[in-house]
Structure 1
Amino acid sequence: MQQKTIYLIRHGETDYNRRGVVQGSGVDSDLNEMGRAQAMAFFQAYQHVPFQKIYISGLKRTYQTVESFIELGIPYEKLTGLNEISWGIMEGKVPGNIDNEYYRNLIEAWASGNTALPTDGGESPEEVVIRQKVAIDVILSHPDEETVLVAMHGRAMRILLCWLTNQPLSIMDQFEHSNLCLYKLRYDYNEKTFTIEVANDTSHLLTLALA
């Protein structure tokens, strides 16, 4: 039975994350000191895993998150289909009262099933799925890569995990995530199904709390 194991991670912390600024796909921020420490903690915990390929989004915070693995000589590929959702006019802003209300209304609309509703000037969850499917098809088209590492973004991960597990996009907020969390997935090529084996695991970051 042919299978692929996917280690799916969210990028490390950026200053925008810390300050509550909306990034989306339009803000190409760097990891901050904590984000780099998170990336190193993940590397130290998982450098023994025989990753045959690394896939990242088109945003540099994902590259910086897996840079230590790339330096080992593991090949990597940039897939813009893995980019964060475009938050449109909200990007680069600290949510004030109006933005908070807008964001809350948007999330409630998606949760009620209106996942075709785009952000103002940005994307809808359903539009994100379309480009994600292209990226996942690329990843699955290499069955010889039995174990891969995929670095992407929070909201995009929530959307991805819904459709990979054949669940409605309206429940996306049930997939919790934090900076440098791990979801471990297994794909069965015969059954054409994904199984989540590990969800929102941050145990590799415990060393940071002890430091």
Structure 2
Amino acid sequence: MPITNLFIIRHGETEYNRIGRMQGRGIDQPLNETGRLQARATAKYLKDFGIDIAVSSSLKRSKETAGIVADDYKVNLLSYKELDEIDFGIYEGQYSKDIQDELDTIHERWQKGEVHLAIEGGESPSQALDRVSRRMVSVIEEHEGKNILVVLHGRLIRILLSYWLGYGLERMHEIKHSNGALYHLKWNGKAFEIVCLNKTDHLQESLPKKVDS
């Protein structure tokens, strides 16, 4: 069976990322300038591999990141609502620092195995996994043997990769993420091989240049 390369990227930075506000599924922020630079740096890095198809969620920050790369490679961009970020319910739009105790509590419960527990007004990790996994299985099957760019969201990457790599959802916190980070996996039809996780060195050119005083 031919090898399918999955280049999973966390979307570039938004203003909500920069100032520490929760986004989730219901906040549809575009990229800021740093986020656009991160997407361009990703496109440049992937030139060593080539991309056959680009896939994103339906949210602006994901579609815009994927679109910048897709334009460089002149490939089609497919977007799916099933790949949208987990619904953080009542926490969406709030500053993380203002609800840190509440976030710590639910994270602790997830780590104890309560992965069917949803944030009020939102969804649980197991619910998010069900939709993202079904869609990604169809993407891989439809583009077998191709190099696929997939632009996702931080919590959704943790959920999906903890399942694919056999960690279990209760250990999803072990999957690190940052804006523009790259995860390269190879699928041989039976199992995933990790090439890299949370790779960020390709983003150095997107950082603001320091000016000597």
Give the shorter-chain TM-score range.
Answer: over 0.9
SS of the residue aligned with 2:16? helix
Give 1:164 shift. Answer: 0.8
Is 10-19 or 137-146 further displaced after alignment? Answer: 137-146
SS of the residue aligned with 2:193? strand
| Matching of residue 52 in structure 1 with residue 31 in structure 2 | no
Which residue is 2:203 aligned to?
A: 205
Q: String of CA shifts for 1:40-81, please: whole Å, max 9, x gaps.
A: 111122234321111100101111112223224201211222
The answer to whether the Cα contact below 8 Å between 1:89 and 1:122 also exists between their aligned partners in 2 is yes
Is 43-52 or 83-92 further displaced after alignment? Answer: 43-52
Which residue is 1:9 aligned to?
A: 9
The answer to whether the Cα contact below 8 Å between 1:52 and 1:145 also exists between their aligned partners in 2 is no
In 2: Cα distance, 1:145 partner to 1:210 partner: 37
Name the amino acid aligned to 1:7: F
Is 176-185 or 144-153 further displaced after alignment? Answer: 144-153
Is 40-49 or 161-170 further displaced after alignment? Answer: 40-49
The answer to whether the Cα contact below 8 Å between 1:11 and 1:61 also exists between their aligned partners in 2 is yes
Is 179-188 or 37-46 further displaced after alignment? Answer: 37-46
Name the amino acid aligned to 2:195: E
Which residue is 1:141 aligned to?
A: 141
Aligned CA-pair RMSD? 1.5
Which residue is 1:93 aligned to?
A: 94
In 1: Cα distance, 2:144 partner to 2:109 partner: 41
| Matching of residue 62 in structure 1 with residue 62 in structure 2 | yes
The answer to whether the Cα contact below 8 Å between 1:47 and 1:69 also exists between their aligned partners in 2 is no
- Are residues 143 and 65 of structure 1, via their aligned partners in 2, closer, same or farther at CA, if it must alter by over 3 Å? closer
Identity across matched positions, percent: 33
In 2: Cα distance, 1:140 partner to 1:19 partner: 35
Which residue is 2:36 aligned to?
A: 36
Which residue is 1:20 aligned to?
A: 20
In 1: Cα distance, 2:46 partner to 2:116 partner: 37
Name the amino acid aligned to 2:57: S
In 2: Cα distance, 1:144 partner to 1:116 partner: 32
Normalising by structure 1, what TM-score?
A: 0.93
Identify unmatched segments of 5+ residues in structure 1.
none
Q: String of CA shifts for 1:14-40, please: whole Å, max 9, x gaps.
A: 000011100001000010111111111
Which residue is 2:81 aligned to?
A: 80
- Are residues 39 and 113 of structure 1, via their aligned partners in 2, closer, same or farther at CA, if it must alter by over 3 Å? same
Q: String of CA shifts for 1:104-143, please: whole Å, max 9, x gaps.
A: 1000000111111001100100001110122112212224
In 1: Cα distance, 2:121 partner to 2:68 partner: 35
Give 1:145 shift. Answer: 4.8
In 2: Cα distance, 1:4 partner to 1:138 partner: 13
In 2: Cα distance, 1:164 partner to 1:64 partner: 26
The answer to whether the Cα contact below 8 Å between 1:52 and 1:148 also exists between their aligned partners in 2 is yes
The answer to whether the Cα contact below 8 Å between 1:29 and 1:60 also exists between their aligned partners in 2 is yes
